[in-house]
Chains A and B, each alone.
Chain A
Amino acid sequence: MKRFLKLRTLGFLFLAVAIALTTIISLNTSGSPGPVTNLLTALSKPLVSAATSVVRTFESVYGYMYEYDKVVAENQRLKAELAKLQQDYREYTEVAKENARLRELFNLSQRHADFKYDTASIIAWGASNWSSTFTISKGSSNSDVKAGDPVITETGALVGVIKEVGPMSSTCVTVLDTTFSAGAVIERNSDVAVAAGDFTLMRQGLLKLDYLTDSAQVVPGDTVTTSGKGGVLPAGLVIGTVSEIRTHESGIRRYAIIDPAADLDNVVDVFVITSFEIAE
């Protein structure tokens, strides 16, 4: 018992000395960690590193699991934003095109203040090889369109004439159709003639300028417009440009070939002139 107490006293004494030494050493190394701290830090470093590594691994796995949903949600949001921007861009392009068309139409309106227009889209082209017709999106229920109204492009080029009006759509014959016929005038010298469709020329995308007077001066490149005579069509609509002068098989009369001003293969949107002043 006595021996045990002696050992215990010695142990406490050793501890007291160790604490005292540690305190003295620590107090004398102000500004630096001190050797004890350094020693403990060095000893604990591998353990801390290992622990940190494990924690980081867990953090990473948890983060992946937690962030994955966020990333997916963000991806979906960005895809939606991209789709919306693409849609906006498409709309912008369409609006820009429409704006350009309307600017052209505005210029035309300034030249022909008496015209009243209605916009329409071509919804179908006729499938017949014997005629040149198309259907537009305006009819009697959604427009003032009526049979005989001229159909033009934004530049004032004549596309055709309304043939039949349905409730929601109307059928138009183009300037190439064999049933089309209109009073025409050569813009350069005001010589009058008749622009009419011809079956053989229709297959080539052309029309005829017929009934030229003997004194008429027509040369390739001349612009042909509607004369407005008869009150069927307004004056000044561009039919096309003369591309060639031919002589009838009889050898007596001449006629000219007109290349239409409207690009019939690519026209999509048209304007129907629903009202105009008749030139006398």
Chain B
Amino acid sequence: MRRIKIPIVFLLHLLFIVAVYVLQAMVFPYLPVAGYVPVLLPVAAVGLSLFEGSFRGGGYGLLAGMLCDVAFNQPVLVMTITLTALGIACGILSETILARSFPSYILCCFFAVMLTSFISMFSLLFYAGTDPVPLLKSALTQTLCTLVFAWPLYYVIRLLARGAESP
């Protein structure tokens, strides 16, 4: 019975990531929040890895990262590596020092979105010589817009985690 349960939860997690991708890549570009597209895939990867551990978190991070690169219209590389690493790191933290709770989740989400913002602005900051103030302002606004949606996503992730834990 348990052998059947695990793949269903796994499929639900995959479905969740795909749904988040659809929201990020196909809905929010046309309905931006305060002019910004919320970056939800890092949030999904971080949230899942927080509840599922480092191994699965890395896997979900890999998928979320690939989809994030596709959504950003860039080669599948930068976000794939970043979100995989984030998934593993958050999974290890949840297995060791972080509680699987909302404050930990929001903290991880904030860190993840700021990190993805920093990676996105890296070339603008260091190669194009863009003024760092508007870049930082954009990073913070993007993070805030994303965290607004991280709150409802938390309940979906927790519901999926409880479904996986129930016998």
Are B37 and A128 within 8 A (Cβ)? Answer: yes
Interface residue A86 (Cβ < 8 Å from any Cβ of B): no
In the complex the two chains form, what is the Cα distance from A32 to B31 in whole Å? Answer: 88
Stretch in B80-88, B92-100, B134-142 touching the partner: B134-142
Contacts A124-B26, A125-B29 given: A200-B131 contact, CB under 8 Å?
yes
Are B71 and A129 within 8 A (Cβ)? Answer: no
B130 to chain A: which residues have CB within 8 Å? 178, 198-200
In the complex the two chains form, what is the Cα distance from A126 to B74 in whole Å? Answer: 9
Within 8 A of A (CB), among B133-159: 134-135, 138, 142
Within 8 A of A (CB), among B15-29: 24-26, 28-29
Interface residue A133 (Cβ < 8 Å from any Cβ of B): yes
Are A129 and B30 within 8 A (Cβ)? Answer: no
Interface residue B1 (Cβ < 8 Å from any Cβ of A): no
Are A131 and B73 within 8 A (Cβ)? Answer: yes
Smallest distance from the beta carbon of B71 to chain A beta carbons, Å?
A: 4
Are B25 and A129 within 8 A (Cβ)? Answer: no
Smallest distance from the beta carbon of B127 to chain A beta carbons, Å?
A: 10
How big is chain B's contact interface, by range? 20 to 34
Contacts A134-B73, A135-B73, A203-B138 given: A128-B120 contact, CB under 8 Å?
yes
| In the complex, per-residue mask of A130-151: 1 if CB is within 8 Å of any chain B CB, else 0 | 1101110000000000000000
B71 to chain A: which residues have CB within 8 Å? 126-128
How big is chain A's contact interface, by range? 10 to 19
Contacts A178-B124, A199-B135 given: A127-B72 contact, CB under 8 Å?
yes
A241 to chain B: which residues have CB within 8 Å? none
Smallest distance from the beta carbon of B167 to chain A beta carbons, Å?
A: 39
Interface residue B35 (Cβ < 8 Å from any Cβ of A): yes
Are A200 and B72 within 8 A (Cβ)? Answer: no
Interface residue A153 (Cβ < 8 Å from any Cβ of B): no
Question: In the complex, given contacts A129-B39, A199-B131, A200-B130, what are 15 additional A-B residue pairs having Cβ atoms less than 8 angstroms apart?
Answer: A124-B26, A124-B29, A124-B73, A125-B30, A127-B25, A127-B37, A128-B37, A128-B72, A129-B37, A131-B72, A199-B128, A199-B130, A199-B135, A199-B138, A200-B131
What would be 8 A-B contacts, judged by CB atoms less than 8 Å apart?
A124-B25, A124-B26, A124-B73, A125-B29, A126-B29, A198-B130, A199-B134, A199-B138
